[in-house]
Amino acid sequence: METWFVIIVTVCLAALIRAFFSVLKPRSKVPPGPGGLPIINSMKWLRRSSTEVEAALKSLRSKLGPILTLPLGGRPVIFICSSDLAHQALVQKGAIFADRPKPLPTFKIISSNQHSISSAGYGPVWRALRRNLTSQILHPSRVKDYSHARKWVLDILIAQFSSAASADPPVKVVDHFQFAMFCLLVLMCFGDKLEESKIREIEAVQRTLLLSFPHFQILNFWPSLTRVLLRNRWDELLSLRKKQVEVLTPLIRMRKDVAEVGLNESVTCYVDTLLKLGIQDDDSESKRKLTEEELVSDCSEFLNAGTDTTSTSLQWIMANLVKYPDIQAKLFQEIREVIGEESDEVQEENLSKMPYLKAVILEGLRRHPPGHFVLPHSVTQEVELGGYVVPQDAVINFAVAEIGWDPKVWVDPMEFRPERFLPAKGTDVSTEFDITGSREIKMMPFGAGRRICPGFGLAMLHLEYFVANLVWKFEWAGPDGHEVDLSEKQEFTVGFLSLTSPFSVFFLSQLKKVCCLTEAASNHPISGIKSVGNDDKPSQVDEDCLKLGALVEKGADFNEVYYRIILIFTRKKLPEDANIGA
């Protein structure tokens, strides 16, 4: 025990002495930050969540300006909080800001020492992996090949909502979103429609590792010491990684076997392209194939990146359509005008004719970006930005949410107002707003510059396709006395934010499948589903729907019936005399 005490005290004293002299040493004009000894600040900020960091950034920005430094994860991180500076860094000086920081010990384990697109440094490995994904999987022709998969997943989602209508206790809506997106990404990754039990197993492994990661952050603080003092926690991380490898490797080997015997007649999947890919390490002049562990890391990245961001955005957009039924009604009307009343489904080719749909999606991404920060960047050389010096190898991040909420850029930025994205008459939405930020950055839910999410186009397609069909298949509204709480709660260490208050889904009418979102009694941050009318006594909703049915029997036209549906959704009681034509 005495030996351990001496070791710990010695290490702490050495760190304090080093920190003391680093304060005394003359420094260039780096972005400002909170005062105090670096070692004390690092320990103070070590356990803060991204939500707490964001709150601190807001406070410090008002005092220090739009570029500042915080000590996070044992090293200083420079945060950029303005759209102009973000454009200068990511677009105008894109090559300098396109690197990744040296990986933390825990991250090296799950990324196979930075051999994935999101983790690789700005070099040949990153270029090869990204080029492979964009040309082989995200190319428009390949995306079109998977239209059948999106239809399959839509059917799964609608079937789950329908079967869950009578469920007790309530079922979380976002769980359905997440599982549907995960099914789609598993199919695109491994090329086969796996059994539900297998998909659930993969999902459980991925989610456990992702949600457990904050638990391992402390291991990055003096790793040589934590490997001794927190040995059990290191073993836990390695065990989770081992389980991930054990679950995904057989699927990778199966695709390899199929390719070797030449029996692969299905659409090319992501694993197929990775198996053919040759990469050149930074310290090598020759190319090699990816190892199995590297393949696991790349598949894991593909599954996580495509599932959580899309399902989180889908939840936020649907929640806003519940809160603002007039927006939902306007969107429904646009869909109806494009596909006609008799159509059962919105087809992908219909989406380009729906500017208001795209405006709703863009406003959802602006007002509620799925991640409030990007993955950390690093600079390849010392560079000037905003009047400050950014040192070589400095860790950089961008306040995505703050940039999208800037009152200097957006009028009433905290309001959900899709009309702000509507194009001028005779033009297309895509020509009105550049979500890539190439011309200027007004919002950056997918990042910007060289490190922009390569799948942003696919994500937009998924959001438009699923939102359009969910609005067409179901009516979503809030019952009387219940407001949708749009406050946010952190879900993952990477900064995804979900709804704080849950909401439930109810079927209200057989005239048209009608869904109704309301707050649930649970404290869980995700949505739920519950059926209406389980009690013996008819609810006000049931009585209103019976009156609505009477209107249909009397031959009321669609506009009259639809108007009464909106009255129900806004909780204005139907009159006793249900004869509209009277």
Per DSSP, helices labelled H in 340-405 are: 355-367, 400-404
Q: Could you tell me the end-to-end alpha-carbon distance of the chain, in angstroms, rounded to an integer? A: 90
pTM above 0.85, yes or no: no
Helix (H, G, I), strand (E, B) or coil at 68: strand
Please choose, from the candidates 181, 173, 189, 187, the residue with its C-alpha nearest in 3D space to the C-alpha of residue 156.
181
- Other C-beta atoms closer than 10 Å to the C-beta of 49 total 12
Sign of CA pseudo-dihedral 562, 565, 569, 575? positive
pLDDT for residue 356 is more than 50: yes
Q: How many Å is the maximal CA-CA distance in the chain? A: 93
Q: Is 453 annotated as a binding residue?
A: yes
Q: How far is CA 439 from CA 425, 446, 447, in A?
A: 21, 15, 14
> In this prediction, what percent of the chain has a pLDDT beyond 90?
53
Asked if 274 and 289 count as a contact pair (C-beta separation under 8 A), the reply is no
215-270 tens-digit pLDDT: 888 888 788 888 888 899 999 999 999 999 999 999 999 999 988 887 666 788 99
> For residue 479, what are its two tokens?
């019952």
Provide mean pLDDT across the span 302-313: 92
19-39 tens-digit pLDDT: 444 443 445 688 998 765 454
* 163 HSE (CA, 13 A, CB side): 7
- For residue 506, what are the β-bridge partners? 516
How far apart are alpha carbons 550 and 277 in whole angstroms? 63
Asked if 249 and 118 count as a contact pair (C-beta separation under 8 A), the reply is no
Contacts of 217 (CB under 8 A, 6+ apart): 46, 47, 73, 106, 493
Provide mean pLDDT across the span 341-361: 95
Most confident of 147-161, 420-434, 499-513: 147-161
* Res 37: pLDDT: 44
Provide mean pLDDT across the span 427-443: 80
Burial of 185 (0-12, 13-18, 19+ CB in 10 A): buried
> For residue 197, what are its two tokens?
């039990």
DSSP 156-221: HHHHHHHHHTT-SS-B-HHHHHHHHHHHHHHHHHHSS---HHHHHHHHHHHHHHHHHGGGGGGGGS
How far apart are alpha carbons 522 and 280 in whole angstroms? 51
Compute φ and ψ for 396, nearest 5 degrees.
-120, 140
Please choose, from the candidates 127, 125, 146, 147, the residue with its C-alpha nearest in 3D space to the C-alpha of residue 135.
127
402-433 tens-digit pLDDT: 999 999 999 999 999 999 999 766 665 445 68
Can you list the domains of the chain with their CATH numbers? 2-81 (no CATH), 124-532 (1.10.630.10)
